[in-house]
Structure 1
Amino acid sequence: MKIFYSFIPDQSLENTLLSYLKILPTGIQSKIYGFKNTEDALRSLLGYALLINGAKYFGYSSSFVVQNMIYNPYKKPYLKNNPIFFNISHSKELAVCIINSTNEVGIDVEAIVPIEIEDYQECFTSSEWHQIFQNNNSLKNFYELWTEKEAVLKAESSGLNISLNSFEIINQNCFMDGNNYSIHMVDIHEDYVCKFAIKNPSKPMNYQALHIPFK
């Protein structure tokens, strides 16, 4: 299993990133063109560029990825017949893409920025809410737990259609609808929290985080 990450390139390198746009499926192109904010569009494009580059490590060409990308009923993208499983996330300047050859995976990354934590209480169980405020690092605790829950949702086939407070994270594990989700941290940058979840792992997880520069 590999996790690919990159930061939005500066303006002098944007054309390199934009070259990926024309090879993506038309539906994804339309989605990216639909963003009103340029940075939102670049973040989304960067995620798919990571997928295209990352798939090569597993022996799949960019044309294979593009030609075999389809969506489940919940609009989650995947490759036909699941030769690999992948998931993409982005926040601020950073995009990440996880690829695994055996099990469903989900990943979430969030920039650590000040927020009103109380606005999100309904997203957590009472036990999780207590955990956030167990010490003086409540903001970091919030993002740690938030990314764990988001990663689980993204590893689950129906994804974001499930309420965040309908399941609980206990010791980096989650049991939901008969499935076990094992959660792990990815240490990329001190200003971000990144977690991934793998569905029904059959053995201890080994993963590699790789920086993909666009230049």
Structure 2
Amino acid sequence: MTSVLRRSLDEGIVDVWFSFTNDNRLKSAKKGYEDMLSVAEVEQYQQLKHVDNGWDYLVSRALLRTALAEYCELAPQVLEFRANDFGKPELSNSSVSPIIQFNTAHTNGLTVCVVTRDHAIGVDAESRAETPGILDVAEDYFSALELQALKSREESQQLDYFYRYWTLKEAYIKARGEGLSIPLHDFSVTLGDDGEFREFVGPEAESWDFRLLGQNSAYTAAVSMNAQIAGLKFIHSVPLGPQSEQRAADAFNQGAIQADERRRDIG
């Protein structure tokens, strides 16, 4: 019998679910989020609480579970996961497990879950911290083609473009699900004059597609899929609360506004 998705998901469409972890509406659902966790997740949550990352982890798991429950026949707290040899998770107890493909990323203040059907997918999100020396990392992780392109940009643009290359490359690594066994120097992403993804240079290049999900003063995010990306749907979610579909141009902007306000308060 063919499994039917509760929420429709057409071939090539990527649903991008996201939450801002400093959203005040999340606090009232904390108990509900904790009740969703598996035994292993509770253990991880307790460990992270001691290093101030517990809340972001809790919200990221709640987003993942509530988002996937939209497509499955199971409640969020019943979903079970298994991981491949490199740690990439997949559903293990749902009839839609072979159909639904997903990946998650979280960074300071933001958690993202991408969902598609049938094809391997990966996502990366990075907060735009002005970390001293961050551009020096490019020498260790970017290909010669990417380094040349990055250095050809105006100095004022280089940090923006660094994060574009970085998130696109990380999304690909996560989609492949083979960890850092894939040398980062051995493949390249290229960007057009508008800063958007243009071409992938690497193994089975014709099978892979990429998109920058957004870039603003707070965050950069990107997705990679082992098939043509036909479209993106952005869903701002408060797990166990309201959801709202957003235009691509508006996604993650609330987080940028909040980050800018925090910077002004600190200043």
Q: TM (normalized to structure 2)? A: 0.71
1:41-190 equivalent positions in 2, closer than 5 A: 41-63=54-76, 66-80=78-92, 81-115=97-131, 116=133, 117-136=135-154, 137-170=157-190, 171-176=198-203, 180-187=207-214, 189-190=216-217
Distance 1:27 1:66 in 2: 14
CA RMSD for the aligned pairs? 2.4
Aligned partners of 1:71 and 1:78 also within 8 Å: yes
The change in CA–CA distance for 1:148 and 1:16 in structure 2 (over 3 A counts) is same
Query: Which AA in structure 1 matches 2:18?
Result: Y
Structure 1, residues 137-166: CA drift from partner, whole Å, max 9, x if none? Answer: 000000000000000000002133323223
Aligned partners of 2:65 and 2:79 also within 8 Å: no
Which residue in 1 is equivalent to 2:27?
14
Aligned partners of 1:124 and 1:164 also within 8 Å: yes
The change in CA–CA distance for 1:132 and 1:18 in structure 2 (over 3 A counts) is farther
Q: Which moved more, 1:10-19 or 1:82-91?
A: 10-19
Q: Does 1:191 align with 2:191?
A: no
Aligned partners of 2:20 and 2:110 also within 8 Å: yes
1:173 CA drift (Å): 2.5
Distance 2:148 2:102 in 1: 32
Aligned partners of 2:36 and 2:62 also within 8 Å: no
* Structure 1 portions without partners, runs of 5+: none
Distance 1:206 1:52 in 2: 23
Structure 1, residues 114-134: CA drift from partner, whole Å, max 9, x if none? Answer: 231113311011110111122
Percent identity over the alignment is 21
1:175 CA drift (Å): 3.1
1:99 CA drift (Å): 0.8
The change in CA–CA distance for 1:131 and 1:20 in structure 2 (over 3 A counts) is same
Q: Does 1:206 align with 2:224?
A: no
Q: How many residues of Structure 1 are paired with residues of Structure 2 in the alignment?
A: 211
Distance 1:12 1:2 in 2: 22
Query: Which AA in structure 1 matches 2:114?
Result: I
Q: SS where residue 122 of structure 1 aligns?
A: helix
Which residue in 2 is equivalent to 1:27?
40
Query: Which AA in structure 2 matches 1:74?
Result: F
The change in CA–CA distance for 1:85 and 1:156 in structure 2 (over 3 A counts) is same
Which structure would you say has the larger Rg? 2
Query: Which AA in structure 1 matches 2:68?
Result: A
Distance 2:110 2:168 in 1: 18
